């Protein structure tokens, strides 16, 4: 009964604070404070100071603002425009035509951004006007973009995976490597969906693209070289063991600055905007992580995570049944909270469960990202839906309908991960570890 009482108090305080429009970081601290005061004898103030400092001063966390800054630089310079220009000649002859630039563009930009919103903004601003001009159906333009933008959460560098790794004290580099193959498989599923539309709905196809000589296509591909080089340096340095995630992020920032400067699209105003954008986003995420660290400590003192883990353990659920329950749980949670908040709010309770069930924490991180990706395009708080609404001025209901097939494909990806867990675990098990992991 004491555990039930604690759960009721925690949830009441949390929803009261969130309902009062209190920042998520402060709301988490408020819940933790209430738990410490009501259920423990330890001074809440001392515990909060110590926990917040240790949570915010984690060396692993320094990768977060650096990757955010790299994405901001690319988003605000001409590198993003060049990417579309280089991709279009190779996508136009596939079944589905230039709709594939949404998938390929999001995949490439995800590999240097880590943010779903940044990926959606950058690719959407480039592709939506071009695809409309060529007569592609609006629901396909928006639906494929809504789904593909979520690849920014999985393909390294992923901000969600950094937060997950910091929360459970796991290697960020291994988590990044675990996301590579599942991210590419999910991108492949999205492209297959476009091809299926092309075959099944012939009347909706736009006019075929004019022929382009091979020499011209190769010439246009030169615009992709800077981004491909940056992806290779960032991900390759981690895979080959030459750099940790933090060091690779620093190299990525330097590379993005150098490329945009050589291109001539980096000026003082752009530099300041990118730096301030990264600072604001990083501060927001760090604040949430501080609150989550204090909440984890508070819950640990109350014994609530252990009690809930023991309760679920008493049902003797198989790992697959536990994953099914957690899928539904995170989908419901993701309908009302953003992905980062869902991770930090629940890991204190969920981590003991998955470890006691024998589920690989690296694999679980990728599973978690796929489910959170799905929640990004499900109402009422589907963050990608709101970003697309601002870009296209469509009703939120219409945008949500266009994304339904992509939600189905992401749920299919969960099944694929359960059936073939090696998809996520093979690469991290075989990478060379650099100093610091």
Q: Decide: 139 and 402 in contact? Cβ < 8 Å.
A: yes
- Within its chain, how far is the Cα of 353 from the centroid? 23
Task: Supply the pLDDT for residue 382.
Answer: 67
Distance CA 181, CA 46 (A): 44
| Residue-by-residue pLDDT tens, the chain, 437 positions | 566 677 777 777 777 876 777 777 788 788 888 888 887 777 778 778 887 777 677 676 777 788 778 877 877 777 767 777 787 788 777 888 888 888 888 888 777 766 676 677 777 777 888 788 888 888 888 988 888 888 877 887 787 888 888 888 888 888 888 988 999 999 999 999 999 998 888 887 777 777 777 788 888 888 888 878 888 888 788 777 787 778 888 888 898 888 888 888 888 888 998 899 888 877 877 777 787 778 777 777 777 666 666 676 677 778 888 898 888 888 877 766 667 777 877 787 788 888 888 889 999 999 998 988 887 787 665 667 777 777 777 887 888 888 889 889 999 999 999 999 999 989 888 875 544 44
Is residue 142 in some structural domain?
A: yes
Return the pLDDT at 267. 86
Domains of the chain: total: 1
45 is a domain residue: no
Q: Please answer whether residues 102 and 139 qualify as being in contact, where contact means their C-beta atoms are separated by less than 8 angstroms.
A: no
CA 296/CA 294 separation, integer angstroms: 5
pLDDT at 338: 65
Burial degree of 184 (CB within 10 A; 0-12, 13-18, 19+)? middle
Tell me how far apart the alpha carbons of residues 398 and 393 are, in angstroms, rounded to a whole number.
10
- The phi, psi pair for 240, rounded to 5°, reads -80, -5
The closest of 121, 239, 131, 100 to 180, measured between CA atoms, is 239
Question: Residue 122 falls within a domain, yes or no?
Answer: yes
Classify residue 196: in a domain, yes or no.
yes
User: Using CA atoms, how far apart are residues 396 and 382, in angstroms rounded to an integer?
Assistant: 10
pLDDT at 365: 92
Residue 429: C-alpha distances to residues 151, 167, 195, 305, 358 (Å): 22, 21, 34, 29, 17
pLDDT of residue 396: 76
Gyration radius of the chain's alpha carbons = 22
d(CA 194, CA 197): 5
CB 383 within 8 A of CB 399: no
Residue span of the structural domain in which 163 resides: 60-430
Q: Which residue bears the tokens 């709905």?
A: 201
Closest by CA to 154, choosing from 193, 189, 194, is 189
pLDDT of residue 381: 59
pTM: 0.76
Q: How far apart are CA 131 and CA 148, in angstroms?
A: 15
- What pLDDT does residue 367 have? 93
- Output the furthest CA–CA distance in the chain (Å, rounded): 76
């Amino acid at each position: 009964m004491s555990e039930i009482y604690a759960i009721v108090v925690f949830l009441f305080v949390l929803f009261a604070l969130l309902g009062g429009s209190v920042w998520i970081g402060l709301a988490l601290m408020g819940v933790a404070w209430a738990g410490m005061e009501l259920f423990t004898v330890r001074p809440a103030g001392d515990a909060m100071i110590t926990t917040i400092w240790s949570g915010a001063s984690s060396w692993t966390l320094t990768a977060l603002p650096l990757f955010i800054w790299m994405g901001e630089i690319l988003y605000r310079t001409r590198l993003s425009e060049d990417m579309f220009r280089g991709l279009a000649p190779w996508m136009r002859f596939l079944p589905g035509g230039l709709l594939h630039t949404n998938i390929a563009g999001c995949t490439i930009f995800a590999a240097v951004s880590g943010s779903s919103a940044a990926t959606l903004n950058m690719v959407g601003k480039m592709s939506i006007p071009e695809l409309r001009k060529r007569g592609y159906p609006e629901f396909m333009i928006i639906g494929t973009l809504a789904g593909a933008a979520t690849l920014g959460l999985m393909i390294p560098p992923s901000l969600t995976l950094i937060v997950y790794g910091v929360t459970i004290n796991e290697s960020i580099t291994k988590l990044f490597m675990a996301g590579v193959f599942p991210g590419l498989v999910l991108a492949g599923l999205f492209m297959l969906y476009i091809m299926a539309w092309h075959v099944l709905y012939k009347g909706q196809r736009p006019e075929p693209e004019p022929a382009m000589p091979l020499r011209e296509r190769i010439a246009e591909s030169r615009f992709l070289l800077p981004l491909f080089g940056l992806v290779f340096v960032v991900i390759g340095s981690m895979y080959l063991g030459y750099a940790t995630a933090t060091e690779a992020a620093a190299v990525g920032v330097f590379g993005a600055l150098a490329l945009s400067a050589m291109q001539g699209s980096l000026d003082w105003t752009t530099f300041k905007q990118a730096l301030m954008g990264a600072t604001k986003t990083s501060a927001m995420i760090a604040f949430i992580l501080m609150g989550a660290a204090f909440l984890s400590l508070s819950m640990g003192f109350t014994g609530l995570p252990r009690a809930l883990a023991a309760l679920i353990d008493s049902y003797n659920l198989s790992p697959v049944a536990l994953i099914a329950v957690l899928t539904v749980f995170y989908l419901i949670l993701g309908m009302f909270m953003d992905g980062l908040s869902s991770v930090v709010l629940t890991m204190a309770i969920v981590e003991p469960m998955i470890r006691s069930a024998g589920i690989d924490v690296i694999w679980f991180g990728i599973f978690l990202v796929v489910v959170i990706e799905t929640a990004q395009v499900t109402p009422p708080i589907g963050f990608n839906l709101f970003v697309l609404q601002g870009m296209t001025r469509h009703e939120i209901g219409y945008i949500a309908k266009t994304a339904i097939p992509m939600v189905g494909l992401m749920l299919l990806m969960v099944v694929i991960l359960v059936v073939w867990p090696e998809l996520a675990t093979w690469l991290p098990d075989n990478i060379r570890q650099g100093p610091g992991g």
